[in-house]
Structure 1
Amino acid sequence: MESTNLIEGSFDKVAEQRTALRTRHSAALTSLMEAREDLRGVHALADFVDDSVRWSA
């Protein structure tokens, strides 16, 4: 039973880390896109994330 708790704890920790990284990367991408308007249109996924963050704010 203890090993199950360790595994569940590991999964929870990984999920929290992924959420933190996703938030940090989205914020950094948004800052970059604000500072460098010439990057708009270079990468479709970057544009999508930037637009998504702006619309959700």
Structure 2
Amino acid sequence: MENPTTTDRDVALDRVITQRVSLKFRHASRLAKLMDERQDLRGVHALADFVDDSLRWSA
């Protein structure tokens, strides 16, 4: 018989992982939209430029 605590932890972990993936994609999408709308932001933050360039190359 399964340990209910392990099952509860697995369900909670799955929920957290799903939420993080969703937030990651939403953040990247909104960053790409912002960088499209505001060209003056290019060069302000290296990570934002990197994510924007990565999204453009993967499209």
* TM range, smaller chain: over 0.9
In 1, distance between residues paired with 2:51 and 2:19? Answer: 19
**Counterpart of 2:56 in 1: which secondary structure?**
helix
Matches of residues 1-57 of structure 1 in structure 2 within 5 Å? Answer: 1-57=3-59
**In the TM superposition, what whole-angstrom CA distance separates every residue of 1:4-56 from its partner, at most 9, and x where no partner exists?**
00001111000000000000000000000000000000000000000111111
What is the number of equivalent residue pairs in this alignment? Answer: 57
Q: For the aligned residues, what is the CA RMSD?
A: 0.4
Runs of 5+ consecutive residues of structure 2 not aligned to the other structure: none
State the percentage of identical aligned residues. Answer: 54
Deviating beyond 6 angstroms after TM superposition, the runs of 4 or more aligned structure 1 residues are none
Unaligned 5+ segments in structure 1 are: none
